[in-house]
Amino acid sequence: MKKSILIAALLFSAFYSRALVITTGSIAGNPFCGGASVNVPYTVDVPAANGNVFTAQLSDKNGSFASPVNIGTLSKKGSGTIVATIPLGTATGTKYRIRVIASNPATIGSTNSQNLSINPQPTSVGVDAVTACSATVGWNAQSNASSFEIRYKLSTDAGYSSTTNVGLNLSYTYSGLKPGKMYDFQVRAKCANGQASTWKKVSGTTLAAPVPTGGLITALTVTTATLDWADMSCGSSYRVRYKEATSAVWQKYVNATPSTVVLTGLFPATQYDAQIATITSTNDSSAYSSSVSWEQPYFKLEQGNLTGEFKVFPSPSNGTFTVQLNSMAANTGAEITVQNIYGQVVLRKLISLNEGINSELISLDNEQKGLYVVMVNSGGQIMQGTVTIQ
């Protein structure tokens, strides 16, 4: 009997003298916000000694326990669950671990088996739907986020814009950007208690301002031309430049808000070129389009102050000829225009008409031989004839 009691005592003593082994269990609820409550389950193979305190410890963001942070305690000898709290302001990270230690005997337990995320950044942040003046930033949903914030800047700028809270939307579109520029965008997740991740950065470059396309002349009068083109994305206005085709210099400029403009003050029977550029809301300009070319129409015979016989003689001519016409009123101004078969104006002359028959001598001594069109315009009433120079 004494022998049996001795054996039992030895077995009991051996059981309680074994080293304490602590196994930290799986942690539910990942990812976490700073300030969140977390249940830390653990098991022990033998009971701890009297007065023991189990403590849950949090690693740094890289999973190291070189400087662990105590996040919860439980006075107990056996297995259990520690109700712990992630400290406010814990740095953003995705490799945190938790372990449980004992005070009596002093024992360090294993870490939990999976990495934990605390105040994590948004994931899969990217830039999409980029135009010359806008870009859309998108990211994935995040279970611990109560909202997202976003900000941006030109990559060359020092500081970011003010922060925009977009709620739980998973994208945000910036407009009014400058064309052909690189921008930096940053997104962060926020928890209900105000804890926030560090900013996640992504960069994108806007497209060049679109060059207008589809330019064409849709209407012509003797002195006007209506120029039309396709609406351009990011175009808040347009700039049109035009010139006579024979000129090397663009001398006329017109600003237009809609994608059409009426060019005025043009010369009849004259060839013109026009080009269009897109102006964005940031007052940046695209390159000019390829040229739209056209020829203004000849004068047309109409009724009005000019009436009766209209003559150009002699024809053929040696370069000097007479223009004769009948006017219904005195002291009336008129313009005589002569153009060659290519539509180029070779002479333009202003005269004053008397009532009745008027004759004007025209000299083209320096012009080449060929057919010429002679036109007279008085107050919008037009007559037209031809002359051949030999």
Segment 193-237, tens digit of pLDDT = 999 999 999 999 999 999 999 999 988 887 889 999 999 999 999
The pLDDT, as a whole number, for residue 384 is 79
Residue tagged 């060059």 (tokens): 211
Mean pLDDT of 269-297: 93
Q: How far apart are CA 75 and CA 301, in angstroms?
A: 112
Asked if pLDDT for residue 162 goes beyond 90, the answer is yes
Query: What sign does the CA torsion over 35, 41, 44, 50 have?
Result: positive
Tell me the pLDDT band of 278, cut-offs 50, 70 and 90.
Answer: very high
Q: What percent of the chain has pLDDT above 90?
A: 69
Where do the CATH 2.60.40.3080 domains begin and end in the chain? 306-389
Tell me the pLDDT band of 293, cut-offs 50, 70 and 90.
Answer: very high
- One-letter amino acid at 332 equals T
CATH placement of domain 216-295: 2.60.40.10
Q: Specify the higher pLDDT residue, 368 or 206.
A: 206
102 in Cβ contact with 178 (< 8 Å):
no
Tell me the pLDDT band of 6, cut-offs 50, 70 and 90.
Answer: very low
Mean pLDDT of 67-91: 97
The pLDDT, as a whole number, for residue 78 is 97
271 in Cβ contact with 294 (< 8 Å):
yes
Asked if pLDDT for residue 123 goes beyond 70, the answer is yes
Tell me the pLDDT band of 381, cut-offs 50, 70 and 90.
Answer: confident
Q: How far apart are CA 11 and CA 29, in angstroms?
A: 42
The pLDDT, as a whole number, for residue 7 is 44
Asked if pLDDT for residue 8 goes beyond 50, the answer is no
Most confident of 18-27, 53-62, 239-248, 371-380: 53-62
If you write DSSP's letter for every residue of 97-143 in order, what string do you get? -EEEEEETTEEEEEEPSS-EEESPPPSS-EEES--SS-EEEE----T
The pLDDT, as a whole number, for residue 308 is 57
The pLDDT, as a whole number, for residue 304 is 52
Q: How far is CA 335 from CA 278, 375, 389, in A?
A: 37, 8, 21
Q: What are phi and psi of 126, to 5 degrees?
A: -150, 165
Q: Specify the higher pLDDT residue, 384 or 155.
A: 155
Asked if pLDDT for residue 17 goes beyond 60, the answer is no
The pLDDT, as a whole number, for residue 240 is 97
Asked if pLDDT for residue 166 goes beyond 80, the answer is yes
Beta-ladder partners of 306: 327
- The fold of the 126-205 domain, in CATH, is Immunoglobulin-like (2.60.40)
**Taking all residues of the chain, what is their mean pLDDT, rounded to a whole number?**
90
Asked if pLDDT for residue 342 goes beyond 80, the answer is no
Give tens-digit pLDDT for 231-273. 999 999 999 999 999 999 998 899 999 999 999 988 877 899 9
Q: How far apart are CA 338 and CA 268, in angstroms?
A: 10
Closest residue by Cα to residue 210 from 116, 272, 280: 280
Where do the CATH 2.60.40.10 domains begin and end in the chain? 18-118, 126-205, 216-295
Span 18-118 CATH architecture: Sandwich (2.60)
The pLDDT, as a whole number, for residue 305 is 59
Asked if pLDDT for residue 302 goes beyond 50, the answer is no
The pLDDT, as a whole number, for residue 373 is 86
Asked if pLDDT for residue 369 goes beyond 90, the answer is no
CATH of 306-389, one of 2.170.150.70, 2.60.40.1080, 2.60.40.3080, 3.40.190.10: 2.60.40.3080
Asked if pLDDT for residue 288 goes beyond 90, the answer is yes
Tell me whether strands 225-228 and 216-220 are parallel, antiparallel or unpaired: antiparallel
The pLDDT, as a whole number, for residue 70 is 98
Q: How far apart are CA 142 and CA 139, in angstroms?
A: 9
Mean pLDDT of 270-296: 94
pTM attached to this predicted model? 0.69
Mean pLDDT of 101-108: 97
Q: How far apart are CA 192 and CA 203, in angstroms?
A: 28
Q: Where are the beta strands (DSSP E) in 139-236?
A: 147-154, 164-165, 171-174, 182-190, 200-205, 216-220, 225-228
Give tens-digit pLDDT for 128-145. 999 999 999 999 999 999
Tell me the pLDDT band of 5, cut-offs 50, 70 and 90.
Answer: very low
